[in-house]
Structure 1
Amino acid sequence: MNWQAIRSIYTFEMARFFRTLMQSFISPVISTSLYFVVFGAAIGSRIDQVDGVSYGAFIVPGLIMLSVMTQAISNASFGIYFPKFIGTIYELLSAPVNFLEIVIGYVGAAATKALFIGIVILATSALFVDLQIQHPFAMMAFMVLTCVSFSLFGFIIGIWAQNFEQLQLIPLLVVTPLVFLGGSFYSISMLPPIWQTITLFNPVVYLISGFRWSFFGMADVPIGLSLLAIAGFTALCMVAVWWIFKTGWRIRK
């Protein structure tokens, strides 16, 4: 394993993040505050509690998941697409670096950025609501796994994309709607039975449900299914990345 190559890619990607640190820090703080104003104040005044948890606290795991997923995809997809766009990816491919080291460098940096954003949102949320985490280690494990899995997914999108518009296509038209419809701001038990069944086909439900369990000890689906879902998604993304580098799909062709 060429750790120097991994460190170089990781350091380069993180340096780009720190150059816009204030923007990266302020944006999630403002967005989280607006969500609490809109959902916490407006809707929270009509919904006192959800399964014994105040509505303001109930939406925190959904807010974190929404930002972590989108940030992980965005950072990873742009990180690998930009070298494709300017042509420096061929220098990387011709260097004595294998595909695993490239993936670890780019995905590791994207996951670190998303994790940072998640922690910032968690800290911001604590300013608005009384937040207690029942299973802190499980919470961090879920967040890290989500950051890694969706960074892998974003890496695949960055390779697939042929222009900057396509970079935003899947996050905006697929991932964000799935998160909003995946129980981010409500419990699926509040839905009619037919919609509860339909919602269970949304894979994001299992991620948010497991993450919410780590906060409040309650979940819409069994915690084992949540772990299985995120492990399966991560494995699927890893297989897809391996196939891309094996065939050179949209990298060498």
Structure 2
Amino acid sequence: MNWYAIRTIYRFEMARARRTLLQSIVSPVLSTSLYFVVFGGAIGSRITQIDGVSYGAFIVPGLIMLMLLTQSVSNASFAIFFPKFSGTIYELLSAPVSHFEIVLGYVGAAATKSIILGLLILGTASLFVPLTIAHPLWMVLFLALTAVTFSLLGFIIGIWADNFEKLQLVPLLVITPLTFLGGTFYAIDMLPPLWQTVTLANPVVYLVSGFRWSFFGSADVSVAASVAMILLFLTACLGIVAWIFRTGYRIRP
């Protein structure tokens, strides 16, 4: 294992985040905090509690998950797309660095940035509402697994995209709508029976539900189903990344 190469890629990506601190850290935290203030203040005054939890506290895990999914995909996709766009990826591919080490460096940095953002938003939310975390170890596990899985998805999107428009296509038209419709701002049992069944086909529901369970001990679906779903995502993404490097899909002429 070439730890020097992994550390170099990782430190380069983390340094890029520090150079664009306003865009990488401040903007996501501020925008998510505005979601919390608007939805928590406007709707929270009309919905007192859900499953014994105040509405302001109830939406915190969903908002963290919303940010985590979108930022993990965006960070990882841009990180690998820009070297491909500028042509410097060929220097990386010709260097004595394995494909696994390349993925580990880029995905590790993207996941780290997303986890930091998630913790910052959690700290910001605790200033507005009292929060208790019923299962802190599970919370960290869900946070880490989700960040890694969707950073891998972002890596795949960055390889697939051949222009900046495609780079934003999946996050804007797929990830964000699925997250909003995945129980971020409401409990699934608040919906009519038909829509409850339809909503269960949304994979993001399982991620939000499991993460919310780690906070409050209540979930819309079983925790086992949530863990199984995220592990299924992770396995699928790993398989696609392995296929990309094996075939050279859009990374070799």
- TM-score normalized by structure 1? 0.98
- Aligned pair 1:142/2:137, yes or no? no
Equivalent residue letter for 1:212: R
Match of 1:86? 86
Match of 2:188? 188
Matched pairs, number? 253
CA contact (8 A) 2:36 2:60 kept: no
Mapping of residues 105-144 of structure 1, within 5 Å: 105-144=105-144
CA contact (8 A) 2:183 2:208 kept: yes
Distance across 1 between alignment mates of 2:2 and 2:69: 29
Distance across 1 between alignment mates of 2:19 and 2:225: 39
- How far the C-alpha of 1:27 sits from its partner, in A, is 1.5
Distance across 1 between alignment mates of 2:147 and 2:33: 22
Q: Deviations over 1:43-77 (max 9, x none)?
A: 11111111110000000000000001111000000
Equivalent residue letter for 1:125: A
CA contact (8 A) 1:209 1:220 kept: yes
Q: Deviations over 1:143-198 (max 9, x none)?
A: 00000000000000000000011110000000000000000010010000000000
CA contact (8 A) 1:48 1:55 kept: yes
Unaligned runs of 5+ in 2: none
Match of 2:74? 74
- How far the C-alpha of 1:30 sits from its partner, in A, is 1.9
Match of 2:247? 247
Q: Deviations over 1:1-29 (max 9, x none)?
A: 11111111111111101112244332133
- Aligned pair 1:29/2:29, yes or no? yes
Match of 2:230? 230
CA-based RMSD of the aligned residues comes to 0.8
- TM-score normalized by structure 2? 0.98
CA contact (8 A) 1:28 1:120 kept: no
Match of 2:177? 177
Distance across 1 between alignment mates of 2:24 and 2:152: 21
Equivalent residue letter for 1:79: A
SS at match of 1:165: helix
- How far the C-alpha of 1:225 sits from its partner, in A, is 0.3
% same residue: 70
SS at match of 1:182: coil
CA contact (8 A) 2:36 2:63 kept: no
SS at match of 1:44: coil
Unaligned runs of 5+ in 1: none
- How far the C-alpha of 1:38 sits from its partner, in A, is 1.3
- Aligned pair 1:10/2:10, yes or no? yes
Q: Deviations over 1:91-137 (max 9, x none)?
A: 00111111100000000000000001101100010011000100011
SS at match of 1:72: helix
Equivalent residue letter for 1:119: L
SS at match of 2:184: coil
SS at match of 1:38: helix
Q: Give runs of ≥4 in structure 1 deviating > 4 Å.
A: none
Distance across 2 between alignment mates of 1:174 and 1:26: 24
- Aligned pair 1:198/2:203, yes or no? no
Distance across 2 between alignment mates of 1:37 and 1:114: 21
- Aligned pair 1:163/2:163, yes or no? yes
